[in-house]
Amino acid sequence: MEHIKNTIERIFSNAGIDKKVKQFSIASNWKELVGDDIYHVTHIVNISKGRIFIKVKNDSWRNELVFYKKEIIDKINRRLGEEQITDIVLL
């Protein structure tokens, strides 16, 4: 049974499906990851090459979120079980 699991994981990985599932996990759990306040002023635009591109409601929040980037990245990577996200780009 373990052999089948490893084979399926390898197929998903080779097809890039595992990354898409993890990206979906980030987007679908965004509110839980960042909390209500940040959730209501942000929107994930894209996730690509280890970077999350986030649209922020206004400049005040954008400036505030600069201080939380590392904490958010750490939470996401803990949730994913690996260091997949390396940067957040605030738009």
Domains of the chain: 2-90 (3.30.300.180)
E strand or H helix that includes residue 53: strand 51-56
User: Which stretches within the chain are classed as H helix?
Assistant: 2-15, 17-28, 30-34, 36-39, 59-66, 69-80
How large is the greatest C-alpha to C-alpha distance in the chain, in angstroms? 53
Answer yes or no: pTM beyond 0.85.
no
The pLDDT value recorded for residue 26 is 87
Total Cβ atoms within 10 A of residue 54: 23
* Structure confidence by residue, pLDDT tens digits, 18-74: 566 667 688 889 999 999 999 999 999 999 999 999 999 999 999 999 999 999 999
